[in-house]
Amino acid sequence: MLNWKEVLRLGKEGNLTPDKRVEKSPQEWQELLSDEEFRVTRQAGTERAFSSQMCTQFEAGLYECVCCGTLLFDATEKFDSGTGWPSFTQPIQSNAIAYNADHSHGMTRVETVCNTCDAHLGHVFPDGPSPSGLRYCMNAVALKKVH
Residues 137 and 142: their CA atoms lie apart, in Å, by 11
Residues 133 and 79: their CA atoms lie apart, in Å, by 12
Residues 100 and 112: their CA atoms lie apart, in Å, by 7
CB 73 within 8 A of CB 92: yes
* DSSP-based three-state secondary structure for 86: coil
Exposure on the CB side of residue 5, measured as CA atoms within 13 A: 1
137: annotated active-site residue: yes
Q: 90 CB contacts (<8 Å, ≥6 apart)? A: 1, 2, 73, 77, 132, 134, 136
User: What residues are labeled active site?
Assistant: 137
